[in-house]
Structure 1
């Protein structure tokens, strides 16, 4: 028990010491105050802004993915724990993109889309700001880049979808919207398998397993409530 407490203390101390920790705190305060802001303001459209923003995020994610893949190919293994220049650049770009993606929530607040600001949404954005910071400064390695590259690919698809729908607000959501969540769930399954192998045979941190399990649970629950349960109700 004492070892577990010490481990949590060490993790907490490390996270608080990250450069992005103040950003995360400000982000959470902004989310907490958003209902008060929405009571005294009118919603903005921001359609053109959303088009440019989402396609930009999709492009940055594509650059991150390609850089991470090149770094892993140069390393020769997806379990290696030594970095190289290509990976450092990709991890830096990934870290920057996670800060940029916090604008997702700001746009939701400005557009009065409070229903979209769920626990999953806030947990995902806040945690990724810290984890991308931690990865860039401490572990820009092929072992971590494997999950990073898959996540970047998912965000290429995700932000393309958002940009596409922002361009065509009257045409409704594309028929492949549901598949985006399925791709995200597949991502976490693959990440977990990779993390388990890495933990058992290559000395990976157990936190990778814990975080991956939480994301898999949250996204699976969202998928069930949004699609499976809804269909049963119909």
Structure 2
């Protein structure tokens, strides 16, 4: 038993030596435990505390809060996307095939580092999406996909920020920040009220955009299995598996939500046509 403990301690120390020392001392970077604790607290609030709190209360009107919140999210994600574009993926210095992490304090490397870290912190802010659903009693929108998507990502992203902040692994942050700009712009418009919501019939295309993101990010990661690249293969596989998992989850959501609605619309139209035919026959009797 002692030998096993020593082996685990040795492995942990060796792994810790590979960390990105540039983020030493930054909030939430000393250990994955704080992020895990926040995620567990999130699940407890969503499944137990929140519903109990709202049980005998009317839904809150959070229109102004949501407008500010969504605008804030748009600004943050625009900044992240700009930084990762200007100093990373669209700078002409990054390779889409193989991009090692630059652990230096060069300006471009530090700008990418900060953008990735802010992207990571934004995932904790995203948790408020669910809290607002609870306060507005929109419990039908708190699906299993929603809870897993929000409650898992802060923990799964931690190794990437702690060990390989930048380089090949930052491609997901590059894509995801763009997706979130569009997503929160949609939510911003939706928060304006019914007069705008009637023009927002393109939500399913937003879901498609998210799935395209997962496909692109997974291909980008798994290509390292077939080429020689100075980027950790295990980390690349971890990110790739993460993308495939969410692709399958979103695909299942898309199939059950939009295709089901399409079938219901078709059934309703058929029923209306049948009723009209019956009425026409009665008129001619």
Report the TM-score when normalising by structure 1: 0.87
Show structure 1 runs of 5+ residues with no match: 1-5
> Which residue is equivalent to 1:204?
233
> Which residue is equivalent to 2:62?
46
**Are 2:187 and 1:165 equivalent residues in the alignment?**
no
Deviations 1:115-153 (A, max 9, x none): 111111111111221233332222112211111110000
Show structure 2 runs of 5+ residues with no match: 1-7, 17-28, 103-108, 267-285
**Are 2:79 and 1:63 equivalent residues in the alignment?**
yes
How do 1:107-146 residues align onto structure 2 when only pairs under 5 Å count?
107-146=132-171
Give the distance between the partners of 1:106 and 1:168, measured in 2 at CA: 19
> Which residue is equivalent to 1:23?
38
Per mean C-alpha deviation after superposition, the further-off stretch among 132-141 and 188-197 is: 132-141
2:115 to 76, 90, 95: 90
Give the distance between the partners of 1:50 and 1:62, measured in 2 at CA: 18
What is the aligned residue count?
A: 224
Give the distance between the partners of 2:159 and 2:195, measured in 1 at CA: 41
Change (3 A) 1:87 1:171: closer
**Are 2:81 and 1:81 equivalent residues in the alignment?**
no
Residue 80 of structure 1: how far off its partner (Å): 1.7
Per mean C-alpha deviation after superposition, the further-off stretch among 43-52 and 223-232 is: 223-232
How do 1:174-213 residues align onto structure 2 when only pairs under 5 Å count?
174-201=200-227, 202=229, 203-205=232-234, 206-213=237-244
Give the distance between the partners of 1:142 and 1:69, measured in 2 at CA: 12
Deviations 1:50-100 (A, max 9, x none): 011001101101101111122323642243221321211101110121111
Per mean C-alpha deviation after superposition, the further-off stretch among 82-91 and 133-142 is: 133-142
Report the TM-score when normalising by structure 2: 0.72
| Displaced runs of 4 or more, over 6 A | none
> Which residue is equivalent to 1:222?
253
Larger of the two Rg values belongs to structure = 2
